[in-house]
Amino acid sequence: NGNRDNSRGALIVLEGLDRSGKTSQSTRLLSYLEQQGFSVESWRFPDRSTCVGEMISSYLANKSQLDDRTIHLLFSANRWEKRSLMEMKLRSGTTLLVDRYSYSGVAFSSAKGLDVEWCKGPEMGLLAPDLVLYLNIPPEKAAERGGYGGERYEQLEFQRKVAQHYKMLCDATWKIIDASLPMEDVEKQLREFVMDCIATCQIGKPLSQLWL
C-alpha cells in the first residue's frame, strides 16, 4: 500500500478487571477492523501456548504454587518472549489488539503487596502501547455479571485491590471507558479511539519503550 518507511501498525492494549468485557470487545474490534480492510491480529497475555505460558496457566488454575515474585517474573518473561515478533508485526504494518499487558502485570502483583517500582522493573524496554483502552467497571458490578471461573485471582476482594492499583498506572496513552454501559455504546467509543490511533501510527509515529 505504498507505505512510507516509518508507517506501521498500532499496538493497542485492552485492560480491565475480570468480567469487564475485554475479550468480547476485542473480538468485536477485530472483526470490525478486518471488515475495514486493515491488517490486524488479536493477541492476549498470558500467552498460554508457550512453555512459560504453561507454567503460568498451571499457577492460575491452582495446580502449582509459586512465590509472588517468581510468578511476576514469569508473566513478564511471557511478554519478553513475544517482543521481537510483536515488533516485526508492527513494523510490517499489522495492528495488534492485545488483551492484557504489562499493566495487568503490575496491577495484579502490586495488589498482592509487591512494590510497584519493583514490579515495573522487568517490564522496562518492552514495547509501549500506542493506546490503552481501560474498561472501567465497579468490581461489584463485574462480579454480578457472574461467571468468575475458578481461577486464582477471581475473587471480589482481590479485584477491588487490583482496581485501585490499575488507577495508579494511568498515563497519557490511556482512555478510560465506562464499561457498565451497553455493549454497543462501549464498542462505538472503542472504535473511535482505535481508528484515531491507527491513523497516527500509519503516518509514522515512532515506536517507544515502556517505563524507561
Is 42 or 104 the residue whose CB approaches ligand 2DT more closely?
Answer: 104
Min separation Cβ 108 and ligand 2DT, Å: 3
With CB under 6 A as the contact rule, which of the stretches 99-107, 164-172, 184-192, 195-203 interacts with ligand 2DT?
99-107
Contact 29, 192 (CB under 8 A): no
Is 100 one of the binding residues for ligand 2DT (CB under 6 A)?
A: yes
Do the Cβ atoms of 60 and 155 come closer than 8 Å?
no
User: What angle, 0 to 180 degrees and rounded to 10, lies between the N-to-C axes of helices 102-111 and 156-167?
Assistant: 120
Residues 6+ apart with CB under 8 A from 187: 25, 28, 29, 32
* 153 is a contact residue toward ligand 2DT (CB under 6 A): yes
Name the one range near ligand 2DT by CB under 6 A: 34-42, 97-105, 125-133, 190-198.
97-105
What is the three-class DSSP state of 99?
strand
Give the residue from 33, 27, 32 showing the smallest Cα distance to 9. Answer: 33
> What minimum distance in Å lies between the beta carbon of 35 and ligand 2DT?
25
Q: Is 35 exposed, middle or buried (0-12, 13-18, 19+ CB in 10 A)?
A: exposed
Pick the piece of the chain touching ligand 2DT (CB under 6 A) from 98-106, 163-171, 172-180, 185-193: 98-106
Q: How does strand 11-16 pair with strand 95-99? A: parallel
List the interface residues with ligand 2DT, window 18-47 (CB under 6 A).
Answer: 45-46
Site string for ligand 2DT, 58-87 (x = CB under 6 A): --x--------------x------------
In the structure, how many helices (H) and strands (E) does the chain have?
9, 5
Mark 104-123 with x for binding to ligand 2DT (rule: CB under 6 A) and - for no binding.
Answer: xx--x---------------
Q: Would you say 48 or 91 has its CB closer to ligand 2DT? A: 48
Kindly report the length of the chain: 212
In whole angstroms, the minimum distance from the beta carbon of 9 to ligand 2DT comes to 21
Residues near ligand 2DT, by CB under 6 A: 45-46, 60, 75, 100, 104-105, 108, 153
